[in-house]
């Protein structure tokens, strides 16, 4: 039987120029111009009293939505292309956020309420020193390493045993949901050293720059936009390669893939781990822009909402989940202000509508329009 990653002679994967169609590259270029040039100019250069000025509120909101879009993209890789529904991706997102939050808390220095070397919550809980796992978190490079390693290692270990045991379908989804729920309960405890119910907040600076400065906010915004566009290209490269074709084959007929000489375990494990790492990076970008991270980000409801973003946008399309995350969260931003008590009902209704009338999500509307034309 062939090995899981048997090389294909002469195959070098898709070239960069062939990843997107001509129209796709045009759309990618327009998005880059808007995110990297138009938004910074409208926010930093145009006067605040001008109708064209982009306020701090919109910079933060769109930055947050782009982080969610990265998570939706990661979810689409594992669910849309490998057919593995995870209800625990909120855990990986939160772990990346906590890893960056530890660095941001250390960066506060003596500017906290108690003017101590320790974060305010540790002083309040009568901690005398940092726990061992806070070591080196005052260095940005180490925190960035944790952002990648912690979600990646957890996903690898969990996925190795789950996929090796051939756990799939609804059983895998339930186990991932149980995992994130257990982690949420753990992080709610005050004695874990992660701020308990309140989590991390009141950040002051990142890399020596004040997080409230407009230039810092825009730098985070542009970094998030670059990550989103970069992960879109990475995702397109993966799904256009031999790996992507094997993943879709596993999704559609895993048994036939096994009979063809491939071991699906390692393919699923790779894309599962990569998806978790991407979520961790999204969480790290989310925290300094929003200004808080707490255990509620690990709630099973958040992970279910991630799946809804992908379903609404369109599974197996990469771009669809990005638009799905944007549409749902823009609607959430308005709905929770106008009718806060009815948001969950509206979200459930939206999911039912997408399932019944838009099986291919928002991305399917484009295909439908082409057929009609």
For residue 6, what pLDDT band results from cuts at 50, 70 and 90? Answer: very low
Does pLDDT of 326 surpass 70? yes
pLDDT for res 369: 59
CA-CA distances (angstroms) from residue 234 to 197, 238, 356? 36, 6, 31
Does pLDDT of 359 surpass 90? no
> Picking from 2-6, 171-175, 185-189, 309-313, which range would have the lowest pLDDT averaged per residue?
2-6
Cβ 302 vs Cβ 91: under 8 Å: no
For residue 356, what pLDDT band results from cuts at 50, 70 and 90? Answer: confident
Q: What is the pLDDT of residues 108-121, one digit of tens each?
A: 988 989 989 899 99
Fill in the DSSP letter of residue 12. -
Share of the chain above pLDDT 90, in %: 75
Residue appearing with tokens 């292309």? 81
Q: What is the mean pLDDT of the chain?
A: 90
Collect all residues with Cβ–Cβ distance below 8 Å to 240 and sequence separation of at least 6. 13, 14, 18, 19
Burial class (CB in 10 A: 0-12, 13-18, 19+), 33: exposed
Closest by Cα among 44, 46, 24, 47 to 36 = 44
Q: What is the pLDDT of residues 282-297, one digit of tens each?
A: 999 999 999 999 999 9
Say whether 310 sits in a helix, a strand or coil: helix
Burial class (CB in 10 A: 0-12, 13-18, 19+), 356: exposed
Tokens coding 76:
């689409």
> Picking from 30-34, 135-139, 330-334, 355-359, which range would have the lowest pLDDT averaged per residue?
355-359
**What is the distance of C-alpha 300 from the center of its chain?**
15
pLDDT for res 22: 62
pTM: 0.92
For residue 364, what pLDDT band results from cuts at 50, 70 and 90? Answer: confident
d(CA 124, CA 193): 12
Does pLDDT of 25 surpass 60? yes
pLDDT for res 21: 64
pLDDT for res 10: 44
Other beta carbons less than 10 A from residue 316's beta carbon: 20
Strands 200-201 and 292-293: antiparallel
Q: What is the pLDDT of residues 170-214, one digit of tens each?
A: 999 999 999 999 999 999 999 999 999 999 999 999 999 999 999
Fill in the DSSP letter of residue 293. E
């Amino acid at each position: 039987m062939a090995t899981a990653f048997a090389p294909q002679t002469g195959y070098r994967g898709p070239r960069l120029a062939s990843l997107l169609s001509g129209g796709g590259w045009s759309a990618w270029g327009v998005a880059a111009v808007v995110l990297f040039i138009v938004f910074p100019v409208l926010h930093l250069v145009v006067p605040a009293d001008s109708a064209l000025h982009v306020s701090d509120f919109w910079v933060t909101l769109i930055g947050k939505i782009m982080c969610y879009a990265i998570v939706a993209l990661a979810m689409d890789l594992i669910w849309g292309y490998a057919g593995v529904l995870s209800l625990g991706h909120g855990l990986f997102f939160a772990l990346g956020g906590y890893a960056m939050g530890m660095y941001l808390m250390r960066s506060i220095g003596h500017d906290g309420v108690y003017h101590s070397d320790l974060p305010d919550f540790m002083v309040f809980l009568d901690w005398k020193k940092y726990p061992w796992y806070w070591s080196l978190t005052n260095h940005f490079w180490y925190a960035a390493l944790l952002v990648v390693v912690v979600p990646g290692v957890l996903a690898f270990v969990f996925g190795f045993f789950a996929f090796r045991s051939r756990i799939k379908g609804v059983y895998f989804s339930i186990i991932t949901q149980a995992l994130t729920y257990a982690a949420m309960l753990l992080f709610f405890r005050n004695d874990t050293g992660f701020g308990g119910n309140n989590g991390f907040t009141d950040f002051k600076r990142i890399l020596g720059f004040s997080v409230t400065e407009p230039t810092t906010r825009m730098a985070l915004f542009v970094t998030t936009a670059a990550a989103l566009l970069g992960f879109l290209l990475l995702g397109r490269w993966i799904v256009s390669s031999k790996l992507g074709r094997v993943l879709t084959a596993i999704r559609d007929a895993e048994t036939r893939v096994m009979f063809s000489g491939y071991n699906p375990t390692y393919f699923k494990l790779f894309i599962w781990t990569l998806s978790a790492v991407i979520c961790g990076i999204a969480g790290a970008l989310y925290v300094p822009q929003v200004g808080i991270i707490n255990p509620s980000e690990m709630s099973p409801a958040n992970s279910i909402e991630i799946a809804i973003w992908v379903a609404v946008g369109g599974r197996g399309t990469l771009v669809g989940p990005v638009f799905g995350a944007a549409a749902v969260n823009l609607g959430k931003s308005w709905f929770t202000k106008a009718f806060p008590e009815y948001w969950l009902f509206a979200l459930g209704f939206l999911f039912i509508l997408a399932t019944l009338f838009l099986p291919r999500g928002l991305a399917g509307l484009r295909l439908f329009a082409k057929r009609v034309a």
